[in-house]
Structure 1
Amino acid sequence: MRYLLIAGLMCAMAAPLALARAIPDPNQKHAPGNEELQKPIAQAGYSTPVNYQLQCAGCHLGDGTGSKANDTPKMKDFVGNFLKVEGGREFLVRVPGMSQSALNNAQLADLLNWLMRKDGMAGTSVPDNYQPYTEAEVAAVRKVALLNLPDTRAGLIKQMREQGIAIDDGMDDAY
């Protein structure tokens, strides 16, 4: 009985501390040097590599290797293959992580073009006739929601296989 009383007393004493962390003080001042309100990512003026880190690296990792355990395909040396099949170019814009990102259309076009660099993420998977994405193209394609990512991706992978493209996306035959 004494132990229950002590445990109850400890919980009662800890509860205000837990609530103090959960309920912010509305009168709290900004940390020195951080007085300016945070800008939305679309207005912050970050570089394209920083936008990749903020919008993509959480799932695809910093080097684009993806994570099979998290059901996230590899982009490194593979993502350019989507440009070799019908519907693949639009697919890259419409992937939820892209279309629903905090980036504006110009930033998203820049990010896609950055990914498609032969000396970058896509590497040699980029087709020789690659045409850079434009802000207007991204704006038009982005509006169309991708309703079934797995089936859409599976269809594109099937087209790649039919063209003899090796599927090295780290997912085995998941799609």
Structure 2
Amino acid sequence: MRWPLLTGVALTLISTTLLARSIPDPHQQPAPGNEAAQTPIARAGYSVATNYQLQCAGCHLTSGEGSRANDTPRLAGFVGNFLKVEGGRAFLVRVPGMSQSALNNQQLADMLNWLLNKDGMAGVSMPEHFQPYSADEVAAVRRQAMLNLPETRGKLIEQMKAQGISITDGLGD
């Protein structure tokens, strides 16, 4: 009784192993439509909105509402508050999702300026006087690694609270 069962298990394991391909086929061709080499995002010339979809929307979602379940803060109606506290402007560039994105410095500056538009994501959270980011500013700031995102963000949130800013980032409200 045991031998037939063991033989069946052994044959199943062997046949599965034989069917599995552990070494890639060197003759495999790309799927139709993917024959051309991919253009890096930094050179693709996508619109800012498309770059947001490719680089940010996976976590912050399309409309910037974020996700409490994934510990991702809301951008919509809140992100402009970072410009109201010391260190907040640099923080937005240094957030790992921004500083380590595939965007070049100009694209990242354009993305930040797009996010911080009063008629866009930032909305009413924007300070009255906003100096747009430049590629040079982004280049200088994004090189400074942020070693502790939660602590850095927490200190900025505390500064906001001290100024009476309502924390509506989806995490602390």
User: How far off is 1:39 after superposition?
Assistant: 1.5
Following the alignment from structure 2 to structure 1, what is the Cα–Cα distance between the partners of residues 139 and 94?
10
Match of 2:8 in 1: 6
**1:46 and 2:69 matched:** no
Following the alignment from structure 1 to structure 2, what is the Cα–Cα distance between the partners of residues 23 and 121?
47
Compared CA separation, residues 23 and 119, structure 1 to 2 (3 A): farther
Q: Percent identity?
A: 65
Match of 2:85 in 1: 85
Q: TM-score, normalised by structure 2?
A: 0.92
Q: TM-score, normalised by structure 1?
A: 0.91
**1:74 and 2:74 matched:** yes
Following the alignment from structure 2 to structure 1, what is the Cα–Cα distance between the partners of residues 127 and 49?
22
- Paired residue type of 1:146: M
User: How far off is 1:65 after superposition?
Assistant: 1.2
**For residues 3-30 of structure 1, what are the alpha-carbon distances to aligned partners after superposition, in whole Å with 9 as ceiling and x for unaligned?**
3322221222122333x2x543222223
Gaps of 5+ in 2: none
Gaps of 5+ in 1: none
**Which stretches of structure 1, 4 residues or more, deviate above 6 A after TM superposition?**
none
Following the alignment from structure 1 to structure 2, what is the Cα–Cα distance between the partners of residues 154 and 116?
20
- Paired residue type of 1:42: A
Highest Rg: 1 or 2? 2
Compared CA separation, residues 17 and 118, structure 1 to 2 (3 A): farther
Following the alignment from structure 1 to structure 2, what is the Cα–Cα distance between the partners of residues 17 and 138?
51
What are the within-5 Å matches in structure 2 for residues 16-165 of structure 1?
Answer: 16-18=18-20, 20=21, 23-165=23-165
* CA-atom RMSD in angstroms: 1.5
The count of corresponding residues between Structure 1 and Structure 2 is: 171
